[in-house]
Amino acid sequence: MQNTATTRPLLAILAAIVAVAFGALTLYSGGSVLFIDGPARVAAGNYVPAVLWFNFMAGFAYILAGLGLFLWRGWAITLAMAIAVATLLVYAGFGLHILAGGDYEQRTIEAMTLRSAVWVLIAFFARAAWKRALS
């Protein structure tokens, strides 16, 4: 993949806004549970620490990918694809945790479904737009 394409499509700007907002919300919500012993941690219930830590750390990657998409850089598409794959792998691990009888919250399933869908869609459409911009 080349480093830049000539025109940044509107879809890249929209994806960038979604990615940065999603990242900021992820850092806030995950950080509230991980680092503050208060209502957010109590409300989190039976969270799975590995999933929570992954999501929190991924929040930084979401913001970076969003900035890269806004600037319309090729590495941002690669990062978006990596985020999508990593999220799906963590989701699969979470599924194994559930199948093994581990405690979990239903909202974690919902959140991981949303995260997976968002990043698969961002990666797919950003890559398609990048390929169109190069042709």
Judged on CB neighbours under 10 Å (0-12, 13-18, 19+), 115 is buried
Range of the domain at 56: 10-134
Question: Is 5 contained in some domain?
Answer: no
Structural domain count, the chain = 1
Below-50 pLDDT ranges, the chain = 1-2
Question: Is 3 contained in some domain?
Answer: no
Question: Is 64 contained in some domain?
Answer: yes
Question: Is 73 contained in some domain?
Answer: yes
**Residue 90 β-bridge partners:** none
pLDDT at 79: 98
Neighbours of 69 (CB within 10 A): 28
Question: Is 4 contained in some domain?
Answer: no
- Position 50: which residue type? A
pLDDT at 7: 79
Question: Is 81 contained in some domain?
Answer: yes
pTM of the model: 0.92
pLDDT at 134: 85
pLDDT at 26: 97
Question: Is 35 contained in some domain?
Answer: yes
Gap between the Cα atoms of 51 and 46, Å rounded = 11
Answer left, alpha or beta for residue 80, where phi above 0 means left and psi between -120 and 50 means alpha.
alpha
The three-class DSSP label of residue 2 is coil
- Position 89: which residue type? L
pLDDT at 65: 98
Question: Is 1 contained in some domain?
Answer: no
* CA-based R_g, the chain, Å: 16
* CA dihedral (53, 54, 55, 56) positive or negative: positive
pLDDT at 64: 98
pLDDT at 5: 63
